[in-house]
Amino acid sequence: MTSQGNRSPDVQLERDVCKLVHRFAQRLDVHVRRVAESLGITATQVVALRELTEPITARELANRMVCEPSNVTFVLDRLERQGLLRREPHPSDRRAKRIVLTPEGLRYRDEVLQRLSEHSPLTSLTDFQQDALRNLLRTLVAEH
**Could you tell me the residue ranges of all domains in the chain?**
11-123
Domain 11-123 has CATH 1.10.10.10: yes
What pTM, to 2 d.p., does this model score? 0.83
d(Cα 122, Cα 38) in Å, to the nearest integer? Answer: 19
Percent of the chain with pLDDT over 70: 93
pLDDT of residue 144: 55
In tens, the pLDDT along 6-59 reads 667 688 898 999 999 999 999 999 999 999 999 999 999 999 999 999 999 999
pLDDT of residue 69: 87
Split at pLDDT 50, 70, 90, the class of 141 is confident
In tens, the pLDDT along 50-68 reads 999 999 999 999 999 999 9
In tens, the pLDDT along 59-118 reads 999 999 999 988 899 999 999 999 999 999 999 988 889 999 999 999 999 999 999 999
d(Cα 57, Cα 98) in Å, to the nearest integer? Answer: 5
Quickly list DSSP for the chain. ---GGGSPPPHHHHHHHHHHHHHHHHHHHHHHHHHHHHHTS-HHHHHHHHH-SS-EEHHHHHHHHTS-HHHHHHHHHHHHHTTSEEEEE-SS-TT-EEEEE-HHHHHHHHHHHHHHHTT-GGGGS-HHHHHHHHHHHHHHH---
